[in-house]
Structures are given as structure tokens and as C-alpha cells.
Structure 1
Amino acid sequence: MTKNATNTLLMIRPVRFAMNAETAVDNFYQKQDARAKGANQKAQIEFDRFVDKLTGIGVETYVIQDVAEPHTPDSIFPNNWISMHADSRVLLYPMKAQNRRLERLENIH
């Protein structure tokens, strides 16, 4: 068995990051939280700091700026619908929730 490792990451910068009411119905980890006010701004700050740290240690980071419409609150998690492999294959996966299906950005694959 071979081990896979990468020095390159694809990241989606949040625009309207929030709890996803559509997926929270059957996702144990999503809870309505009164502290969520300002979550997107906090997520953007943390995102930018993380990208700076990654690039600072030599990790090549491709940042895609998300779009405000359509509203896709989970779009910062592209690993749920796309994977890229050492042999240059790009695999796309189906998403259960309708608003998660809208996350696929044509400029990524």
C-alpha cells in the first residue's frame, strides 16, 4: 500500500458561512447557537490566518473565493463533493441536501 501526502491544498474562503438549516435536521454536529452571530466574519478571519500559516511553511494553497448566491452555508467543505488523486483523477460525489448540491463550482473541476 502506498501512502498519499500532498503539499497542495484547495480551500474555499467563506462568504456566508452559517449553520445549514437544511442539513441540521439529521446532522448531530450542527446545533442552533445563539453565539453564531458574526460567525461568517470570524470564519473569514480564521481562514485568512490559517492560509497565511500554511503558505508560511511552504504549503501551496489554492484559495477559491466563494460566492454569496446561491446561499451555500457549508461550501467551505469541498472535500465532501470532490477528491483529487495522484494519478490526476478528479472524482465528484453526490450530495444529499439540495443546497449542498449547489456548492459545486465549475471553475474547480
Structure 2
Amino acid sequence: MPNIHRGEIAAEIGGETRVLCLTLGALAELEARLGAGDLAGLAQRFAGGKISARDLTAIIGAGLRGGGNTISDDDLAQMSVEGGLRGAAEIAVRLLQATFGEVA
């Protein structure tokens, strides 16, 4: 069961309910994978509201690994996500909100 106070969420991925969390390690992985440099760079990248499939895979993959799942981004890319592309985008938004709080 996810603990929202630790920034965890639950999502249906690959036919299973999984816990995702952007831990410090997961955030560092995400910074490196997306070439953001730092947390401010990540925030700038997502602030414009444009997000690629590569971004979704990186965010969800880092969150899965931060939540204790041993799933590579390549494996994740082959899995079904409840709600398809829209569902994947919603998972990423919920995960970022759980990590950084609501954006005004």
C-alpha cells in the first residue's frame, strides 16, 4: 500500500498494481537520463506542459525503481498501462505531484 507522505503512489502497470516513488536516487537517475542537470532543470523541463513518450518512460521507470520494482525502461516500454497513453501521462503527473506537491 502506497504512503503518500513518502511521495508514493500506486498504479496499474503490466497487469499489476505497483508502488512508484521518486526517491532521491530515482530523481538523480531522472536528472541524468533527461540531461536536466539538477532539480530546477527537471522543473523547467516539465513546466511548459510538453512531455514526450521518452519523458513518460523515464519518469515512470524511475518511479517504479524508486518504489522497489526491478523493471528497466525497455521492459516498461513493452508493458501495458491502464488507460493507455492518457493513463501513463496521469501516472507521471500524480507521481510528480506526490513528489513536489501541487503546482499552482
Global fold match (TM > 0.5)? no
Rg (Cα) greater in structure: 1
- Bigger proportion of residues as strand: 1
Q: TM-score range by the shorter chain?
A: under 0.3
- Bigger proportion of residues as helix: 2
TM-score, with normalisation over the residues of structure 1? Answer: 0.25
TM-score, with normalisation over the residues of structure 2? Answer: 0.26
